[in-house]
Amino acid sequence: MSPVKTQTLGFPRIGPNRELKKAIEGYWSGNTTRTDLLLTAHKLRAENWALQKAAGIELIPSNDFSLYDQVLDHTVLLGCAPERYLDKSRRPNLDEYFAMARGGKLPNGTPVQALEMTKWWDTNYHYLVPQLKEDQDFQLASTKPFDEFQEAKSLGILTKPVLIGPVTFLSLAKPAGRPFDTLALLERLVPVYVTLLQELRRLGAEWVQMDEPILATEISAEKRRAIAETYETLSKAAPGLSILVASYFGRYGDNLKTALELPAQGFHLDLFRAGDELDAVLAGLPKQKTLSLGVVEGRNIWKNDFARSLARIEKAKASVGEARLILSSASSLMHVPVSLEREDALSSGEGAGGALSQEGGAAAAVGLKNWLSFAEEKLGEIQTLARLSGLEKPEEDPAYVANRNAIAERRNHEGVKVPAVRKRMAAIRAEDLERTSPFARRAVAQQGRLGLPAYPVTTIGSFPQTEEVRRARALHKKGQISDAEYRKFLEEETLKGLRLQEDLGIDLLVHGEFERNDMVEFFGEKLEGFAFTAHGWVQSYGSRCVKPPVIFGDVFRAAPMTLDWTVFSSRASKSPVKGMLTGPVTILKWSFVRDDQPLSDTANQIALALRDEVKDLEDAGIAAIQIDEPALREALPLHESEWKETLDWEVKAFKLAAAGVRDETQIHTHMCYCDFGEVMASIAAMDADVISLEASRSGMELLESFREYAYPNAVGPGLWDIHSPRVPDAEEMTALLRRARAVIDPARLWVNPDCGLKTRRWEEVLPSLENMVRAAKTLREEG
**In this predicted model, which residue has the larger pLDDT, 370 or 700?**
370
Q: Is the pLDDT of residue 305 over 60?
A: yes
Q: Is the pLDDT of residue 3 over 90?
A: no
- Residue 261's H or E segment, with its range, is helix 256-261
Average pLDDT of the chain? 94
What's the pLDDT tens digit per position in 551-605?
Answer: 999 999 999 999 999 999 999 999 999 999 999 999 999 999 999 999 999 999 9
In this structure, how many other beta carbons lie within 10 angstroms of the beta carbon of residue 154?
A: 9
- To 5 degrees, how large is the angle CA 636–CA 639–CA 642? 70
What's the pLDDT tens digit per position in 349-364?
Answer: 333 333 333 332 322 3
> 767 φ, ψ to 5°?
-65, -30
Alpha carbon distance 229, 223 (integer Å): 10
The dihedral over CA atoms of 350, 356, 358, 363, expressed in degrees to the nearest 10, equals -10
Alpha carbon distance 741, 738 (integer Å): 5
Rounded percentage of the chain residues whose pLDDT exceeds 90: 89
Give 22's pLDDT tier (boundaries 50, 70, 90). Answer: very high
Q: What is the mean pLDDT of residues 288-304?
A: 97
Q: What is the mean pLDDT of residues 521-526?
A: 93
Characterize 221-250 residue by residue with b for buried, 16 or more Cβ atoms within 10 angstroms of its Cβ, and e for exposed: eebbebbeebbeebbebbeebbbbbbbbbb
* Residues forming the active site: 723
Q: Which of these, 622, 633, 606, 669, lies nearest to 461 by C-alpha position?
A: 669
Rounded percentage of the chain residues whose pLDDT exceeds 70: 97
Alpha carbon distance 380, 54 (integer Å): 10
According to the model, what pLDDT value does residue 352 have?
36
Specify the amino acid at residue 446. Answer: Q
> 131 φ, ψ to 5°?
-115, 120
Alpha carbon distance 249, 121 (integer Å): 8
From first CA to last CA, the distance across the chain in angstroms is 76
Alpha carbon distance 575, 504 (integer Å): 12
Q: Is the pLDDT of residue 1 over 80?
A: no
Q: What is the mean pLDDT of residues 522-537?
A: 94
pTM, two decimal places: 0.92
Q: Which of these, 76, 85, 198, lies nearest to 138 by C-alpha position?
A: 76
Q: What is the mean pLDDT of residues 528-549?
A: 95
Specify the amino acid at residue 343. Answer: E
Q: Is the pLDDT of residue 300 over 60?
A: yes
According to the model, what pLDDT value does residue 704 have?
82
Query: In this predicted structure, which of 289-298, 620-629, 632-641 has the lowest mean pLDDT?
Result: 632-641
Q: Are 454 and 747 in contact (CB under 8 A)?
A: yes
What's the pLDDT tens digit per position in 28-47?
Answer: 999 999 999 999 999 999 99
Specify the amino acid at residue 525. Answer: E
